[in-house]
Amino acid sequence: MTSYQSELGGGGNVAEELAKGQRAISIAEFFEKNKHMLGFDSGARGLVTAVKEAVDNALDATEEAGILPDIYVEIAEAGDYYRLVIEDNGPGITKEQIPKVFGKLLYGSRFHAREQSRGQQGIGISAAVLYSQLTSGKPAKITSKTQGSSQAEYFELIIDTDSNEPEISVEDTTTWERTHGTRIELEMEANMRARQQLHDYIKHTAVVNPHARIEFREPSEHLKYERATDQLPAETTEIRPHPHGVELGTLIKMLGATDSYSVSGFLQTEFTRVGQKTADSVVEHFRDRHYGREMAWSPPASQDEADVAAAITDAVNGKGAEATEAFTDAVMKVLDARERISHHELVTVVGNAADATEDEQGVTFGETVRENAVEAAWGAIVTSRAADCYRLVDDATTSKKDDAAVEALARRIETAFANSEDPRDRVTYDTLSQFVDRAAERTKERDEVSFGETARENVVDAFWSVCRTVPDDAPSVSETEGDRDTASELLEAMRETDILSPPTDCLAPITDDLVRAGLEKEYDADFFAAATRDAEVHGGDPFIVEAGIAYGGDLPAEGQVDVLRFANRVPLVYQRGACASTDVVKRINWRNYGLDQPGGSGMPNGPAVFMIHVASTNVPFTSESKDAIANVPGIEDEIELALREAARELKRYLNKRRSMEKRQRKQDVIADILPRMADKLSEVTERDQLQVGDSLARIMNNVLVERSVEDGTVRLVVRNFSDTNASLDVTDIVTADPGEPNDGQVVEMDGEWFVKWSPTVSAGDTAVLEYRVGDDATFDVSVEGVEDAKLTVNA
């Protein structure tokens, strides 16, 4: 760094020297230097990020247009570089927009939309273009065809990093076999070291987008992921911001942009879930914060020292005895009936009494008389502060506090009111808290009695609850926008008002059925479970968490469970350790759900894949490169609940499987011993060998299927030795024509006859299935509807 130290004291102006080097930095220049922020930290990672940005856009665009996505991704070596091609069958991009979409950072359609989408910031694809031009020096080649066009638009362009504007080198039309869509070709310095992440990204994209067809070709592999459903994700609706989710800067911007004059109108037109009632409630809190409330004191009783009536009478000059008395009586009549009165309420009471006296007595009560009367009456009323403060403190604290302590605290609060700058006893909640805190501190110092946190809060709330909201109009929109403190008061009022959660039609969860279908499509497992939670809200943005589990089958039994993380249907393949979803998986006790977890915490082991999906209008990521979900407690709780929901199903499955395995082992032992016993028995008794299948089925409480063939009659006897009903599908495959059996159905296929029955056999009952066939036929029976371990087939 240039040092100006030698110039210090030498008469030179360092600030002016520095000023020569100070200039604005373009966004493109900034990202050129900070590529890692956008996920382009290395050649390996750059390739994954570029694929991800283009595929995410393709999925967003096709979904928005209601088109089932057909996406082609190709990575090929091109000399010293890699060439990346991504094609989609989306709606295409208009000629005017192409240069901006690809040649300008921070240009997009989703930044301002409160709707679930993969893209959010308008940086993704242009950052890929920037990375490609920086590393290979080659322009991006874009082909795009909109629906109904016969020709496609073709551009070659780069981003001018000084101006953050597109620099077009070729602009042409071309023919393209796709009826509509977009094709992007980028060359970049890259390598395939992140091959695994690339494959994970594509495969996991296929899992959570079962409606998409994706073809992926890279130098050593060519893969096709077919769609599992023709059902597009549910259409989403854009929502207005929720009052609980905006920041101060955004609020001020919104106040500047609105057409509304009043804050109430502004709230109702610019935010979701705000009707008249909610707006009224926010405005009331806003006024409380902006103006404070007025303390209401109990008017002293007439026999008390402070004589309000006398004070009023004294204050009224030259109105004649009769009118003065009538006026004083009218005020006192109202005051006597009131338990408490605040300053503005007194102004109204005096005003009404003056109007009535004017009418009845024909004497004018002008502004000054009214003001004098209010001042005099208020002066007399506030003499009761001490007694009032005592009562409020006494009621708000426990009986354990002795009287002198209560008295001391109340006296100090009273003094705070008496010394306050506002003669109307207006206080904000914060000021009131300060009054009470200071009074409590002094009482501790002087009287050695302490009032703890809770006691203080109770006292503040007791005073606040008898304070009156002031009648002043809430500041207008322009007044609020023009003053940062006022805007901040409005924001706090919005946050403290209970407001219905935002609607969730802006979200499109995958849904549990499709989570399961997606997993079934890509993983050869024995068991699948899925759960979709109800929507919750974080910082004003709705979110939905989904979880899925695949278990067993071909999944690797060794090592840790594989965790697939997704945000708005986008697989997150980096920063696993920094992600809230990983943290949640680790903190669950998986032993409770039948999985192996060394030490009882951390990643569980076993042949399982966990899938976690967070869908939101604003997913809180840990960084701009959108690699990991931040540790937001509300979101973590939902992730945990979704996982536990799916895990409960897994537990049931594993328990059942274990008991079946146990049963099978027992059965294997018996099946081994029984024939040997039968052998021995027939040897000893010299009788024919016994049929052991029947006995085995009886011992194991199984369903037994036994065949006998006699004079061309094939008989399958089904005996249910279990204690529940059995609904079976029994199919006998015969090599000769079985004619027309009584209850079974026959289908012939390639010289084999399939005879099928679907009997329900009650516990302890028997069903007989029969047909006739020629002598030399052979048979092969299959039975479904009963677990293998509970079935004995002797046929």
Ligand X SMILES: Nc1ncnc2c1ncn2[C@@H]1O[C@H](COP(=O)(O)OP(=O)(O)OP(=O)(O)O)[C@@H](O)[C@H]1O
Cα(176)–Cα(160) distance, rounded to whole angstroms?
A: 28
Residue 351 assigned as binding residue: no
343 or 569, CB closer to ligand X?
A: 569
Residue with smallest beta-carbon separation from ligand X: 119
94 or 659, CB closer to ligand X?
A: 94
Residue 673 assigned as binding residue: no
74 or 479, CB closer to ligand X?
A: 74
93 binds ligand X (CB under 6 A): yes
Segment near ligand X (CB under 6 A); pick from 53-61, 413-421, 584-592, 765-773: 53-61
Cα(719)–Cα(706) distance, rounded to whole angstroms?
A: 8
Number of CB atoms found within 10 A of residue 492's CB: 15
Distances (CA, A) of 609 to 128, 413, 546, 561, 614: 31, 63, 14, 6, 17
144 or 397, CB closer to ligand X?
A: 144
Residue 419 assigned as binding residue: no
Q: Residue 614: CB partners within 8 Å, gap ≥ 6?
A: 543, 544, 545, 566, 567, 568, 581, 629, 635, 639
Segment near ligand X (CB under 6 A); pick from 114-122, 209-217, 240-248, 528-536: 114-122
210 binds ligand X (CB under 6 A): no
What is the nearest approach in angstroms of ligand X to the Cβ of residue 124? 3
Rg from Cα positions in the chain:
41
What is the nearest approach in angstroms of ligand X to the Cβ of residue 182? 4
113 or 387, CB closer to ligand X?
A: 113
Residue 626 assigned as binding residue: yes
Cα(150)–Cα(164) distance, rounded to whole angstroms?
A: 32
119 or 210, CB closer to ligand X?
A: 119
Structure letter (DSSP) for residue 341: B
Q: What three-state secondary structure class fits 421?
A: coil
Binding-site member from 49, 126, 581, 597 for ligand X (CB under 6 A) = 126
Of the candidates 380, 374, 387, 388, the one whose C-alpha atom is nearest the C-alpha of residue 308 is: 380
Residue 109 assigned as binding residue: yes
35 or 370, CB closer to ligand X?
A: 35
Binding-site member from 39, 99, 103, 119 for ligand X (CB under 6 A) = 119
Q: What three-state secondary structure class fits 62?
A: helix
| Site size for ligand X (CB under 6 A) | 20
Q: What three-state secondary structure class fits 379?
A: helix
What is the nearest approach in angstroms of ligand X to the Cβ of residue 271? 24
> For residues 757 and 783, is the Cβ–Cβ distance under 8 A?
no
What is the nearest approach in angstroms of ligand X to the Cβ of residue 122? 4
Binding-site member from 32, 63, 70, 88 for ligand X (CB under 6 A) = 88
182 or 209, CB closer to ligand X?
A: 182
Cα(225)–Cα(206) distance, rounded to whole angstroms?
A: 7
Binding-site member from 45, 83, 110, 289 for ligand X (CB under 6 A) = 110
For 145-181, b/e burial (b = at least 16 CB within 10 A) is bbeebeebbbbbbbbebeebebeeeeeeeeebebebb
741 binds ligand X (CB under 6 A): no
Residue 88 assigned as binding residue: yes
109 binds ligand X (CB under 6 A): yes
65 or 466, CB closer to ligand X?
A: 65
Binding-site member from 42, 121, 431, 501 for ligand X (CB under 6 A) = 121
53 binds ligand X (CB under 6 A): yes
Q: Residue 405: CB partners within 8 Å, gap ≥ 6?
A: 443, 447, 449, 451
231 binds ligand X (CB under 6 A): no
Q: What is the x/- site pattern for ligand X, positions 148-187, by CB under 6 A?
A: ----------------------------------x-----
The pair of structure tokens assigned to 214 is 């994706």
What is the nearest approach in angstroms of ligand X to the Cβ of residue 552? 37
**Which positions from 452 through 481 interact with ligand X, judged by CB under 6 A?**
none
101 binds ligand X (CB under 6 A): yes
50 or 408, CB closer to ligand X?
A: 50
Task: Please report the DSSP string for 428-449 in residue order.
Answer: -HHHHHHHHHHHHHHHHHHH--
> For residues 436 and 456, is the Cβ–Cβ distance under 8 A?
yes
What is the nearest approach in angstroms of ligand X to the Cβ of residue 730? 54
Segment near ligand X (CB under 6 A); pick from 87-95, 154-162, 380-388, 776-784: 87-95
Binding-site member from 48, 73, 123, 646 for ligand X (CB under 6 A) = 123
> For residues 122 and 107, is the Cβ–Cβ distance under 8 A?
yes
Of the candidates 612, 609, 592, the one whose C-alpha atom is nearest the C-alpha of residue 531 is: 612
61 binds ligand X (CB under 6 A): yes
What is the nearest approach in angstroms of ligand X to the Cβ of residue 41? 17
The pair of structure tokens assigned to 773 is 């066939």
DSSP bridge pairs for 747: 754
Beta-strand pair 726-727/729-734: unpaired
Cα(512)–Cα(582) distance, rounded to whole angstroms?
A: 20
101 or 380, CB closer to ligand X?
A: 101
108 binds ligand X (CB under 6 A): yes
Residue 110 assigned as binding residue: yes
Distances (CA, A) of 255 to 22, 263, 383, 412, 478: 33, 9, 44, 42, 7
Residue 132 assigned as binding residue: no
The pair of structure tokens assigned to 190 is 């890259």
Binding-site member from 122, 548, 552, 606 for ligand X (CB under 6 A) = 122
The three state secondary structure string of 87-120 is EECCCCCCCCHHHHHHHCCCCCCCCCCCCCCCCC
124 binds ligand X (CB under 6 A): yes
Which residues contribute to the annotated binding site for ATP?
57, 88, 109-110, 119-126, 626
Give the residues lining the site for ligand X (CB under 6 A).
53, 57-58, 61, 88, 90, 93, 101, 108-110, 119-126, 182
Which residues contribute to the annotated binding site?
57, 88, 109-110, 119-126, 626
